[in-house]
């Protein structure tokens, strides 16, 4: 690259040279040296225009260099995308080739694992046939023995010895279970027979108790009937006696009520006469009070009207004197006062 670099030749540079190792640092350093070495004077109009022109050239140089970088970046991205696509082809096709080569081995291993697992599961089933979570009956154990016999002819290959041992252990265990089931059955049957005998004895005992209880109940019922008959007869005698006493009491009460009614009627007659006399006297007195109150009210109203008339007359006379003093005749003054008192003069009134 040339030793000196100026702003006017930046756009002629080649991107591969600019972005070579150390190229950007070399170019920017030379541009900085070139620009900072210029004589720039901001005190004159020409100097200020020159400074603006240099600043514009710096900005153009920056844009030109940045655009070159974009071109380099774009070319590099295309190269990276092509390499990534080739890597995906390498990965996919060689992975498929690897799987194709390994497929026979994987298939063999899967078959072998399935074969071994089948033998192991069957051996576990043989061992499980002799295990119970409950006390089995003979029929259940016999069914397990039949299942065990169906597995005798299976070829267990390298697990033959282990399968033989499982067969022997399960067979012995199932035989023990069936003997235990027979013992339980015999014990249950004996228990049921003893329970039947005990139930029959209990039935007979209850029958004897029932007959005795029924006889006792019948005797108690007959005794209750006799007592109830005696009590009923006594109750009837007591009822008749109470009714006779009640009849006498009613007659006595009726006579007493008659006497009390006559006395009450006499008292009420006297009280009614007294109330009538008192009400008459209260009515006479009330009328006297009303007449007196009316007379007092009329006298007070007469006095009030006289006082009001005198007050209004005094006020009217004072108003008349003021009007006459103002120059009106007495007759005209009276008409004016009358018109004001009757409210015939707008916005004018006499304050009484």
CA 333: distance to chain centroid? 93
Q: Which of 44, 74, 104 is the last residue of a domain?
A: 104
CA angle, corner 50, sides to 45 and 51, nearest 5? 100
Structural domain for 337, as ranges: 308-341
How far apart CA 306 and CA 299 sit, in angstroms, is: 11
Q: Which of 38, 71, 104 is the last residue of a domain?
A: 104
Q: Is residue 42 assigned to a domain?
A: yes
Q: Is residue 117 assigned to a domain?
A: no
C-beta pairs of 194-199 under 8 Å, 24+ apart in sequence:
none
CA angle, corner 122, sides to 120 and 128, nearest 5? 105
Q: Is residue 243 assigned to a domain?
A: no
Q: Is residue 50 assigned to a domain?
A: yes
How far apart CA 322 and CA 330 sit, in angstroms, is: 10
Q: Is residue 15 assigned to a domain?
A: yes
Q: Is residue 349 assigned to a domain?
A: no
In a 10 Å sphere around its CB, with 0-12 CB exposed, 13-18 middle and 19+ buried, how is residue 125 labelled? middle
Confidence (pTM): 0.35
Q: Are 170 and 148 in contact (CB under 8 A)?
A: yes
Residuewise pLDDT in 10s, the chain (352 residues): 444 566 677 777 888 888 888 888 888 888 888 888 888 888 889 989 988 988 888 888 888 888 888 888 888 899 888 888 888 988 888 888 888 888 888 899 999 999 999 989 999 988 888 888 888 888 888 888 888 888 888 888 898 899 899 888 888 888 888 888 888 888 888 888 888 888 888 888 898 888 888 888 888 888 888 888 888 888 888 888 888 888 888 888 888 888 888 888 888 888 888 888 888 888 888 888 888 888 888 888 889 888 888 888 888 888 889 888 888 888 888 888 888 888 888 888 877 7
How far apart CA 187 and CA 180 sit, in angstroms, is: 10
How far apart CA 339 and CA 344 sit, in angstroms, is: 5
How far apart CA 81 and CA 87 sit, in angstroms, is: 10
Closest C-alpha to 170, from 152, 186, 148: 148
Q: Give the pair of three-digit tokens for residue 156.
A: 């267990």
Burial 162-171 (b: 16+ CB within 10 A, else e): ebeebbeebb
Q: DSSP readout, 25-64?
A: HHHHHHHHHHHHTS---SSSHHHHHHHHHHHHHHHHHHHH
Q: Which of 104, 138, 167 is the last residue of a domain?
A: 104
Q: Indicate the number of domains in the chain.
A: 2
Q: Is residue 158 assigned to a domain?
A: no
Q: Is residue 204 assigned to a domain?
A: no
């Amino acid at each position: 690259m040339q030793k000196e670099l100026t702003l006017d030749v930046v756009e002629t540079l080649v991107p591969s040279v600019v972005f070579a190792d150390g190229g950007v640092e070399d170019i920017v350093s030379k541009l900085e040296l070139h620009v900072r070495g210029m004589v720039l004077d901001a005190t004159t109009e020409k100097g200020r225009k020159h400074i603006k022109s240099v600043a514009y050239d710096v900005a153009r140089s920056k844009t030109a260099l940045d655009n070159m970088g974009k071109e380099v970046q774009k070319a590099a991205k295309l190269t990276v995308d092509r390499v990534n696509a080739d890597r995906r082809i390498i990965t996919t096709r060689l992975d498929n080739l690897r799987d194709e080569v390994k497929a026979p081995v994987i298939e063999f291993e899967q078959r072998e694992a399935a074969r071994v697992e089948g033998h192991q599961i069957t051996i576990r089933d043989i061992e499980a046939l002799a295990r119970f979570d409950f006390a089995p009956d003979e029929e259940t154990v016999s069914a397990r023995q039949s299942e065990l016999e169906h597995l005798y002819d299976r070829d267990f290959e390298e697990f033959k010895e282990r399968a033989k041992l499982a067969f022997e252990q399960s067979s012995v265990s199932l035989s023990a279970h069936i003997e235990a089931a027979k013992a339980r059955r015999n014990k249950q049957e004996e228990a049921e027979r003893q329970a039947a005998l005990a139930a029959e004895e209990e039935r007979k005992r209850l029958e004897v108790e029932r007959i005795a209880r029924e006889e006792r109940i019948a005797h108690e019922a007959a005794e209750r009937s006799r007592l109830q008959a005696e009590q009923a007869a006594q109750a009837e005698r007591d009822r008749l006696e109470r009714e006779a006493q009640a009849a006498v009491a009613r007659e006595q009460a009726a006579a007493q009520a008659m006497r009390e009614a006559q006395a009450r009627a006499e008292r009420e007659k006297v009280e009614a006469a007294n109330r009538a006399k008192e009400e008459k006297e209260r009515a006479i007195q009330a009328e006297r009070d009303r007449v007196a109150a009316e007379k007092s009210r009329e006298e007070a109203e007469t006095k009030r009207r006289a006082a009001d008339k005198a007050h209004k007359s005094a006020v009217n006379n004072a108003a008349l004197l003021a009007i006459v003093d103002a120059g009106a005749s007495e007759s005209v003054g009276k008409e004016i006062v009358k018109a004001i008192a009757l409210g015939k003069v707008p916005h004018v009134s006499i304050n009484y």
